[in-house]
A and B are shown apart, each in its own frame.
Chain A
Amino acid sequence: MKHRSTLSTLSLLAILVVLVVGCAVPATPQAPTTPAAEAAPVETPTEAPKQAESKLVMAIAEDTVSLDPGRAFETLPSIIHKATYDTLVTFPADSVDRIEPLLAESWTISEDGTVYTFTLRDGPKFANGDPVTAEDVVFSFNRMKHITGNPSFLAETIASVEAPDEKTVVLRLKHPDPAILAKLVFSAFAVLNKDEVVAHGGTDAEDAATADKAEEWLNSHSAGSGPYMLEKWERGVETVLVRNPNYWGKAPAIDRIIIRNIPEAATQKIQLEAGDIDIAMDLTADQVPALKNNPAVTVFEGLSDTIVFLIMNQDPAIGGPLSDPRVQMAVRLALDYEGIRVLSSGRAVTPASVIPVGFFAAYGPEKALKRDLDRAKGLLAEAGYPDGIDVELEYPDFTFGGVNFGTMAQKVQADLAEAGIRVTLKPAELQVALENYRQGREAFGLWLWLPDYRDSLDYVEFLPGGVVGKRANWTDENADQVILTLRDQVKVETNDQRRAELFAQIQDYLQQKGPFAPFLQPGIQVGLSSAVRGFVYNPQWRVDLALLSK
């Protein structure tokens, strides 16, 4: 008995030893290793490169749910789809205020603004060599619409898509949609190779929501005409793109792009400094100063298209004093915009309204509201609150793009206190806070908005009856006629000059009235190895990988 137990103990130890030794053995040089591997295992892999293939490594917090262009709605897929697919039209490399041709070389718009006729360019081919035809466009648009995925709402104004001949696409709208071209830039409208997608279970039929089976294939293959092809997507690990040999445009400089999932900004920074990655997509503003002295690293600092704002409920039963337009204005005047901007650091600006700086007809930061505590106090007194008011501020307890909502809420609390608005902070877990906000149950909330598509028209959602407007219970019933008229006009106006005038009036209105106090448009920071050239930031697709070289 005694012996047996000793034996079992020994065998247990032996297993441990074997495991440990098993781990240790290969570290000794007896294993056959290549000379490259002989060097410290720490070195970046110099393992026999196949010729001189150029390679670029990008680190990003992977948020990919699907790489099917008809279903994806996240950040990383938009980067990948920009590289692997083409759309009919596009934006300039670094802005979103103009539409440029891509697969369509030209287009005409009918008098009433409801029929768009696109003429396709000669030459574009899919990665497998098939020509891009109008049929592919029709298939891709219909499939995206009928899948009823996250981006399908972008097609809600589309009545039909037709291909009268190989080079012509006719898009009929239910009613004029001045933002339709900007929507078509979104990768949801990427043009897929119909034959390939159908061969792998895809369909554009009305029942595509259940009948389409191409998603799995599209998660590991691309079927586009872009400069790159998807080689693999290993969930949570990496996405690999390789150069499309059949690309119809100017060939990109980098052969292979490896996109690694590095969730932590701190880790991205450490890897960038170590020289193991070329691009760190998610740096936070406070990491930038420490990188400034590093000659091996450059930092691109730009402006995000995120708007951080306070929302006040128009329904007196929910909003209480905050439903009073004078109190709402007092809140806007009590915020220390300059202090908030400094707190956020980086290239952050104070937006003049809910429309981000850089968008079509958006006011620049110079037109932003300035703090005026005396007027704020005056307005409060006028509204019947000479001793101030007590309110609760609800916000999600999270950090987005380096903006910590807890910190922002505390700053708002301190600023408003100076005007006599005493704020109690009420943080909640994101999903819980989101539910209250989206149901319009918050009296006072701190939130952010990312555009669904890059056109100023997206911001009619803040107006009465819009997605965000409804969260403030701002409706056609309690809004004044001025803003309702402006809203209805801007929704259908297609002439750029008249659109710009309407947006100016809307922005002027929102500075004086309405349940929102937008106060920050944060910056974005991208870390680059000094060897990387050609980095340009675009709010729609973040980075166009085909423009990069090193």
Chain B
Amino acid sequence: MALYRYVLRRLMLTIPLLIGVTLIAFVISHAVPADPVTANLGQKAMSDPVIVAAFRAEWGLDRPVHEQYLIYLRNLLRGDLGRSIKSRRPVMDDLRAYLPATIELATASILVGVLTGVTFGVLSAVRRNSVLDHIVRMLSLFGVSVPVFWLALVVLFVFYSRLRWFPGPGRLDVGLPAPPQITGLLTIDALLAQDWTALRNAIGHLLLPAFVLGSYVTGLITRVTRSAMLEVLNQDYIRTARAKGLHDRVVLTRHALRNALIPVITVIGFSYGNLLAGTVLTENIFAWPGIGQYAYRASTSLDFPAIMGVSLLIALIFIVTNLVADLLYFILDPRLRSS
């Protein structure tokens, strides 16, 4: 029961948090000493007072800022995120169009990151100071420190252009028909449509960018898993378990890993939000039509409704991933449940 109340309280907290986010995003984006008129109208168009007035009226920029904010909030309560100045479409439609690509990429990246990170971390901890440990530690250092755009270009050049092991940029091969859109996640849609060609193709296209984007997460999780495992492996209950004569693998997975996973979950929680929010460079280089590219275009053209929409979305994702991470503690750590 405590759990439900906890979740409910967290969800209630989401509302003031999101309103806070709108306020901050609104104030910051409007405080920039630049004008959406300059950003969105051509040189000649913006020197024509009729066109400028029409533009300001169309986007509500002719009203005082506080009034603009209140109008925004009122519309938001009705579930209306407004219209993007740049795309001239409802922001909701834009987010719906661009978010799935990013979710797919970020999810694939986190999977790559967690699977390799946890494996490497455990191996590294168990074989402490072995050659393997040194290699893994070097790789994880590489993963957290290498610039993403550099890695993306190198990986594309080597594995796509030269070796031809992976397909190139984009989500599907040029000319390959996409599966009918249901979720917007091409892998899932292809699976639902049982379109195996599209599925293979989509996964092929996902691997390189997921590896690049996931490299940081892999590095991070490897390091966190390794240190958490080392700490746990020194605990008395592990020695006890071993002394009981339990099989090594059982000791490692049931006793050690499970407890070591708690800090790892924290890392996964905030990494996922970061991945979703921080895909701009990877999306650009891999021509991935996701939210990162959309956010970049929105901010460089002072597209206020789009900036607000993206900010809200990212805040919401952070809130949800954190909540999920916290709930996972409950599952993994019985002490939290009893308290």
Contacts and interface: CB of A to CB of B under 8 A. Distances in A.
A271 interface: yes
Contact of B174 (A27, A41, A154, A260): A260
Given A148-B54, A438-B46, A270 B197 contact: no
A26 interface: yes
B169 A66 contact: no
Interface of B is mostly: helix
Contacts of A429: 34
B38 A42 contact: no
Interface stretch (B6-14, B68-76, B159-167): B159-167
B200 interface: yes
Interface stretch (A16-24, A82-90, A96-104, A304-312): A16-24
A452 B289 CA distance: 30
Contacts of A434: 34, 38-39
B91 to A, nearest CB: 13
Given A273-B161, A431-B300, A65 B34 contact: no
B168 A270 contact: yes
Contact of A27 (B32, B46, B115, B200): B200
A468 to B, nearest CB: 8
B203 A42 contact: no
B176 A148 contact: no
A404 interface: no
The range of chain B's interface size is 35 or more
Contacts of A14: none
Contacts of A42: 160, 164-167, 204
Interface string B196-211: 1101110110000000
A527 B332 CA distance: 55
A360 B87 CA distance: 35
Given A66-B88, A150-B45, A267 B38 contact: no
Given A236-B289, A438-B38, A432 B300 contact: no
Interface string B42-79: 11111110110010001000000000000000000000
Contacts of B302: 431
- Among B45, B98, B160, B287, the one with the most A-chain Cβ atoms within 10 Å of its Cβ is B287
Contacts of B174: 44-45, 57, 238, 258, 260, 276-277
- Among B160, B175, B328, the one with the most A-chain Cβ atoms within 10 Å of its Cβ is B175
B35 interface: yes
Interface residues of A, number: 71
B200 A9 contact: no
Interface stretch (A31-39, A279-287, A318-326): A31-39
Contacts of B32: 431-432
A431 B39 contact: yes
A47 interface: yes
A1 B197 contact: no
A73 interface: yes
Interface string B9-50: 000000000000000000000001111001101111111101
A260 B258 CA distance: 46
A72 to B, nearest CB: 11
Given A32-B196, A148-B50, A467-B44, A27 B287 contact: no
- Among A31, A270, A431, the one with the most B-chain Cβ atoms within 10 Å of its Cβ is A431
B191 interface: yes
Interface string A36-62: 010011111101000000010100000
Contact of B111 (A16, A27, A40): A16
A454 B318 CA distance: 49
Contacts of A1: 334
B285 interface: yes
A293 to B, nearest CB: 15
B187 interface: yes
B293 interface: yes
A464 to B, nearest CB: 15
B48 A264 contact: no
B153 to A, nearest CB: 6
B169 A73 contact: no
12 contacts: A42-B165, A44-B174, A55-B175, A148-B54, A236-B294, A260-B287, A261-B287, A262-B169, A264-B287, A431-B35, A452-B43, A452-B44
Given A9-B332, A152-B48, A431-B34, 9 more contacts: A2-B334, A31-B196, A148-B54, A153-B45, A156-B48, A260-B287, A276-B168, A431-B32, A434-B38
Query: Which 7 pairs of residues, A with B, have the shortest CB-CB distance?
Result: A431-B34, A31-B196, A236-B289, A41-B204, A153-B44, A45-B173, A8-B331
Interface of A: 1-2, 5-6, 8-9, 12, 16, 19-20, 22-23, 26-27, 31-34, 37, 40-45, 47, 55, 57, 65-66, 73, 148-154, 156, 209, 215, 234-238, 258, 260-264, 266-267, 270-271, 273-274, 276-277, 429-432, 434-435, 438, 449, 452, 461, 467
